[in-house]
Amino acid sequence: MLKLYVGNKNYSSWSMRPWVLMKQAGIPFEEVMVRFDSFDAGSNFKQAVMAINPAGKVPVLQDGEIVVYDTLAICEYLAESFPDLKLWPEDRARRARARSACAEMHAGFGTLRNACGMNIEADLSAQGRLLMRDSAALRAEVDRIVQLFRELLRSSGGPMLFGEFGIADAYFAPVGTRIKTYALPVPGDVTAYIERVQALPGVKAWIDDALAEKIFLDFEEPYREAPRS
């Protein structure tokens, strides 16, 4: 049985990607939750993750003796292991396009990732308004997301970026949750796509778990104080 090591569902955007991909594609796996405490060398999180992945990060996929870390490598490994599931588009040109979009997400959108950390259960719309007002870099990245989603949806005809659900939709799923948390302004057709993704059972399952988690971690919360107990 495949094992997928993930972090907190409210916060761990990288973990979300392979988890929703596997759930939605119907790939059976055992989830191993490694709760964030801190990312310090001596933390429980680091010690538990380093035991399997010397890079010290989640997600990690374990397939018997084989350990795959880094989200893009995990997605590629799954696509190769389950060719019938067509996790990448079948057409070579479309597949190249999907890989490019995922690589763009993997290596880019640094301002969105840093300034708008994933926080599924929070309403940070006021912070989102200020960030959009003050950061030209964030505005440019949101514009690029809109342009990319529109172009892909137009050429595939939807409902997902490349027609049917696949790696690209999983890759951008945490962008959708950030757009919602920070109420980042996007046009209606982009919101409709994000809502379609969030309604998929595999994605909804992650979001429901994230909402039920109710763990507040100061180091993941630049904009909120811990709720008073």
Ligand X SMILES: N[C@@H](CCC(=O)N[C@@H](CS)C(=O)NCC(=O)O)C(=O)O
Shortest distance, position 168 Cβ to ligand X, whole Å:
15
Q: Is 186 strand, coil or helix? A: coil
Which of helix, strand or coil describes residue 3? Answer: strand
Contact characters 48-67, ligand X, x per CB under 6 A: --------xxxx--------
CB within 8 A of 137, min separation 6: which ones?
Answer: 111
Count of residues touching ligand X (by CB under 6 A): 12
Q: How does DSSP assign 198-222, residue by residue?
A: HHSHHHHHHHHHHHHH----GGG-T
The 6-45 contact track toward ligand X, x by CB under 6 A, reads: -x----xxxx-----------------------x------
Smallest gap from Cβ 228 to ligand X, in A, equals: 27
What mask, x for binding ligand X by CB under 6 A, covers residues 158 to 197? ----------------------------------------
Radius of gyration of the chain (CA): 17
Contact 162, 152 (CB under 8 A): yes
Distance of CA 73 to the CA centre of its chain: 14
Tokens of 131: 């960030």
In the region spanning residues 67 to 86, those forming contacts with ligand X, defined by CB under 6 A, are 70-71
Tokens read off for 80 = 């190769």
Shortest Cβ distance from residue 147 to ligand X (Å)? 23
At closest approach, how far in Å is the CB of 120 from ligand X?
A: 13
Binding status of residue 87 toward ligand X by CB under 6 A: no
Residues of the shown chain interacting with ligand X in the complex, contacts defined by CB under 6 A? 7, 12-15, 39, 56-59, 70-71
